Structure 1
Amino acid sequence: MTPSRFPPSFNDNPLSYGFALFSLALITSIALAYVIAVLLERTREREINAAIRNPALPPPEHGITLLSLHRMIYCGLLSTIILGAGPDVLLLLAWGEASDNAMWWIFQLDRVCDAATIGPFLMSMFLAIRAEKSIEHRLGLDPAVIPVRPTWGMVRDKLKITGAVLCIAVGVTLYKAAGLR
Structure 2
Amino acid sequence: MFTGIVEELGTVAAIEEQGDAIRLTIRATTVLEDAGLGDSIAVNGCCLTVAERTEDTWTADVMQETLDKTSLACIAPGDRVNLERAVTAHTRLGGHIVQGHVDGVGHVVRRSPSEHWEVVEIALPPELARYLVDKGSITVDGISLTVVEAGAESFTVSLIPETLARTTLGFRQPGDRVNLETDVIAKYVEKLLGGRAS
TM-score normalised over the length of structure 1:
0.21
| Greater share of helix | 1
Larger Rg: 1
Q: Which has the higher contact order (CA 8 A, sep 6+)?
A: 1
